[in-house]
Structure 1
Amino acid sequence: MQARDKSHARGIDVSHYQGKIDWAQVRASGISFAFIKATEGTTYVDSMLSTYLAGARNAGVLVGVYHFCRAGTAADAEKEADFFINTVNQQGGIANLDLPPVLDIETTNGATHLTISCQVWLNKVQAACSVEPLLYTYPYFATSYLDASLGNIPLWYANYGVNQPVDVAGWTRWRFLQYSDSGTVPGISGPVDMNEFDGSEEELMGYQMSVADANKVIAFLSAAYNATSIAAAQDEFHRLANELRKASGQPEQ
């Protein structure tokens, strides 16, 4: 996988455990984004979801939300996806957020292989939100319970104390990296998870674009690519198409 970089945008992820947050201080400290816990299982909504979303937005922090998975079967995963979608829609929907939705998979609930459950949740949420979700996991879990077929899903990877994570399961890149679970950030009392995005804050600001909208523009760029024989122009059309894929959470080509 790629190495960390000082130019990358820095962020945090939070749940009710962080308590009251002074988001103006968080933003002033250089934090660009925050993933906020939305749901867990099929019944739990984080008590600070609405408060954190409002506070972070008002302070200029880019926001996304995540679901903590408890599903051990495909049927359970479908129910959890529906619950997550309904909860996020009550907050204005994914379109009102800056970052893609996230499936946080780090517990088995007795299952021995969770790839199919992940695929069910990811596919249902993408179909409902028109944005490709991220998958959050960590090295041991990815190696033990997930397989390479998930390698095309954008990865939010928890790997602490490592400047350049090694490849794992089917992944050779991370989109977001959680590099510490004990960070200190002004405006937050106590430790907080620290993250970075694989790009600058400016790139992060344009990250979320629906797959459908991105593919419409990519089709136009492909036609322009095929209509010219000028190598420099073809290279630029290809670069722009990949930027659109990245912005909509799709793998580059």
Structure 2
Amino acid sequence: MPKKRNTRRPGAARRRILGVLLLVALVAGGLAWWKARTWMPDRRDYAVQGVWLSDDDGPIDWRLLRAAGADFAYLTASEGTSTRDAAFADGVIAARQRGIQVGAVHVYDLCAPADAQAANFVTIVPREKDLLPPAIRLDIDSRTCPQVPGEAQMQSELTTFLNQVEKHAEKPVILMVSRGLEKEYHLAARIDRNIWVAQNFLAPTYAGRPWVMWTASDRLRLDASTRPVHWVVVQQ
């Protein structure tokens, strides 16, 4: 009897294999995307966790934020010499009503006068002992400062700013230092303050010394907000 011909073409088998691999990749990518939106560091590693918010995050449901595990909230209060966060004062009240500790953040402008920036911060942030230590956001932003100052000038201006803010707050600040700014100025080694670092999912080492706070995710989705939030943990 004549042998039956094999009509299966090699190209069809390869396409089926590629299709299966593509499906697996899509499923894995979907799971990674979902995990990135919901991931928080383990409470066994970081018992104290919270958020960093500004009015850009839109309305916050503080009851749901507390239920999600926020022990504290750092609220952006001011930026540069004149910008003030419209949601700051109401946010302080709302957070406290839910038993959430509150701290204030100033977004520092490398090109703006230190005195004027400090005045902007102390105008909006009250002198209250119950507030957490002020956090100073330090980053290189070409929109506000296209020509960054040299190391000596930057450190001199920042020291002036810190002296005035710490006199008002009556406690040392926390330096929220970005990777880019730390590479440029090496502040962690030059200024003796607690350090706040940022990197999604993996604790960073760019500060070169132990940090106190870490923004572990800037894409966490919670029912408390319509937008992703910055989730922060404390190292104790």
Please indicate the TM-score interval, normalised by the length of the shorter structure: 0.7 to 0.9
Would the aligned equivalents of 1:157 and 1:174 in 2 still touch at CA under 8 Å?
yes
- For residue 167 of structure 1, report the CA deviation from its aligned partner: 4.7
1:104 equivalent among 137, 140, 144: 137
1:10 corresponds in structure 2 to 49
Query: Is residue 2:72 matched to residue 1:33?
Result: yes
1:154-169 equivalent positions in 2, closer than 5 A: 154-163=194-203, 165-168=204-207
Aligned residue in 2 for 1:22: 61
TM-score, normalised by the number of residues in structure 2: 0.73
Indicate if the aligned counterparts of 2:182 and 2:206 stay in contact, CA closer than 8 A.
Answer: no
> Max radius of gyration: which structure?
2
Identity %: 24
| CA distance in structure 2 between the aligned counterparts of 1:146 and 1:122, rounded to whole angstroms | 17
Q: Residue 116 of structure 1: CA displacement?
A: 2.4
Q: How does 1:71-220 map to 2 (within 5 A)?
A: 71-72=110-111, 76-89=113-126, 93-97=127-131, 99-107=132-140, 109=145, 110-112=147-149, 113=151, 114-147=154-187, 148-150=189-191, 152-163=192-203, 165-168=204-207, 171-199=208-236
Q: What corresponds to 2:25 in structure 1?
A: none
How far 1:32 moved relative to its partner?
0.6
SS at match of 2:226: coil
Per-residue deviation, residues 118-141 of structure 1 (Å, max 9, x unmatched): 222112211222100111112222
Deviation of 1:161 after TM superposition, in Å, equals 2.8
Contact 1:71 1:80 (C-alpha < 8 Å) held by counterparts: no
Q: What is the Cα deviation at residue 159 of structure 1?
A: 2.2
Q: Deviations over 1:135-174 (max 9, x none)?
A: 1112222111344212x211111122313x2252xx5111
Q: For each residue in 1:32-64, what CA deviation from the matched residue of structure 2 results, as whole angstroms up to 9, or x when unmatched?
A: 111001001111110111121111111111110
Matched residues in 2 for 1:104 and 1:37: separation? Answer: 9
Greater shift after overlay, 105-114 or 56-65? 105-114
List gaps (5 residues or longer) in structure 1: 200-253
Shift of 1:81: 0.8
Q: Distance in 2 between matches of 1:160 and 1:194?
A: 10
Distance 1:144 1:185 in 2: 34
Q: Distance in 2 between matches of 1:179 and 1:86?
A: 30
Counterparts of 1:51-90 in structure 2 under 5 Å?
A: 51-72=90-111, 76-89=113-126
Q: Does the 8 Å CA contact 1:33/1:61 hold for their aligned counterparts?
A: yes
Q: Which consecutive aligned stretches of 4+ in structure 1 deviate over 3 angstroms post-superposition?
A: none
Superposed displacement of residue 95, structure 1? 1.8
Query: CA separation in 1, counterparts of 2:221 and 2:168?
Result: 36
Deviation of the 1:78 alpha carbon:
1.8
- The number of equivalent residue pairs is 187
Q: CA RMSD in A?
A: 2.0
Q: Which residue of 2 aligns with 1:238?
A: none
Asked if the contact 2:46/2:233 (under 8 Å) is kept, the reply is: no
